[in-house]
Amino acid sequence: MTTALAGWFSMAGRVTVVTGASSGLGASFAETFAEAGSDVVLGARRADRLSKTAEAVRAHGRRALTVETDVSVPEQCDRLVARAMDEFGRVDVLINNAGIAHAIPATRETPEQFRSVIEVNLNGSYWMAQACGRVMLPGSSIINISSVLAVTTAGLPQAAYSSSKAALSGLTRDLAQQWGRRKGIRVNALAPGFFDSEMTETYSDEYVANTLMPRLLVDRVGHPMELAATAVWLAAPASGFTTGQTIVVDGGMSVT
């Protein structure tokens, strides 16, 4: 790779906030952005597990800040960003990765169960975007982590999860429109399909073999690096002409 081309994908000198960073895809995002040159602010409810992610960031020679954060609480989102500003003096990238899911049939799902998913996946993404949008400078980037279930179904009863992720596409478009010319902030979403993660580890072997795998045009599950690398592209200068989009990374699942 030439020096000029490398610069299009470099995150050197930037500060990235990753929510849901205690494990799974969030940890992969954090480590990959550190490898690309970014310092990283790590937020999650499970504060005891953030130290492992922080170690992975520091192994790439980058600084890491951990902040216990429940994104469904707006004040905690504001606190995370305030800590980031105190420590680094800037926030350049937000990866809205924190999310929860459950599989409960619609006739049995309680209001509390449905609301709990919306509070984290949709509302939490909005509170974090608000907090970061207030301090971000032109050239910054917000990446909302949606899901392939925003555009298709997968044989599980996930009304709350699918609704929350589909709503993120609308939120992405609106924030991109509001903050593009006025603030110079790009806002996009990533919609992952079936990746190795803490969430997908709960799927039964039968469900994976009989329902998910037959729908994948790439005959395997996704590797977290394939999603994290796409996120780096969305945050880096290489995607400077891309905003308001939901990028599906699903091995072809959404077209089968």
Helices (H), 47-136: 50-58, 74-88, 111-118, 124-133
- The active-site residue out of 126, 161, 203, 207 is 161
Residue written as tokens 């000029």? 4
CA angle 200, 205, 211 (to 5 degrees): 80
- Cα distance between residue 154 and residue 121, in whole Å: 18
Query: Taking Cα atoms as reference points, which of 224, 247, 193, 228 lies closest to residue 95?
Result: 228
Handedness of CA 30, 84, 48, 54 (dihedral sign): positive
Is 161 a catalytic site residue?
yes
Q: Which residues are catalytic?
A: 161
